[in-house]
Amino acid sequence: MMLTEEFLSFVIADDEYGVPILDVREVRGWSPVREIPNSPDYMKGVLEIRGEYVPIVDLRMRFGLAPAVVGATTVVIVLNDAEKQPLGIIVDGVSEVYPLSEEQIKPPPHVSAEIDHSYVRGIASVPAGHLILIHLEALFDVSQLVAPNQEESWV
């Protein structure tokens, strides 16, 4: 029996990316966030969701692209990070849920030493083209996004 894992796919600048569906807490429409001073440029702020402050990251900026332009399809995907803490990512839109086996996931190609591929878990062929599977832990040091005991200074 071939084991499969489901991935939620989303679009950023015409490319389709995926994260494990088990890491997804919820998908929600865009709502304004509370900015946090002295945070990285890709850190847009925090959003209060059911009494919990969730750091919100512009994934386009984290990938080195132009900032997100909020539109009708812009959503925030709230994920669990490695420590099961919430992290929201702003994406251009949500696409599909794909069941993928390990055999379908190919390692990322090695292009050059200057390009950081540590955030790419693998690439899979899907009906719409290619799905780039990302490692959230490699993209963010979540503990640095909202430092502990800092909440009182900005809430």
Give per-residue pLDDT as tens, 7-37.
999 999 889 999 999 999 999 999 889 999 9
- Among 130, 133, 112, CA closest to 121: 133
d(C-alpha 110, C-alpha 12), whole Å = 22
d(C-alpha 129, C-alpha 15), whole Å = 9
Q: Alpha-carbon torsion 17, 7, 114, 110, what sign?
A: negative
Say yes or no to pLDDT of 144 above 90: no
Q: pLDDT digit string (tens) for 43-79? A: 999 999 989 999 999 989 988 889 988 888 899 999 9
For the chain, list the domains and their CATH numbers. 4-148 (2.40.50.180)
Mean pLDDT of the chain: 84
145 compared with 149, residue with greater pLDDT: 145
CB 75 within 8 A of CB 59: no
Per-residue pLDDT, averaged over 89-98, amounts to 94
CB 109 within 8 A of CB 122: no
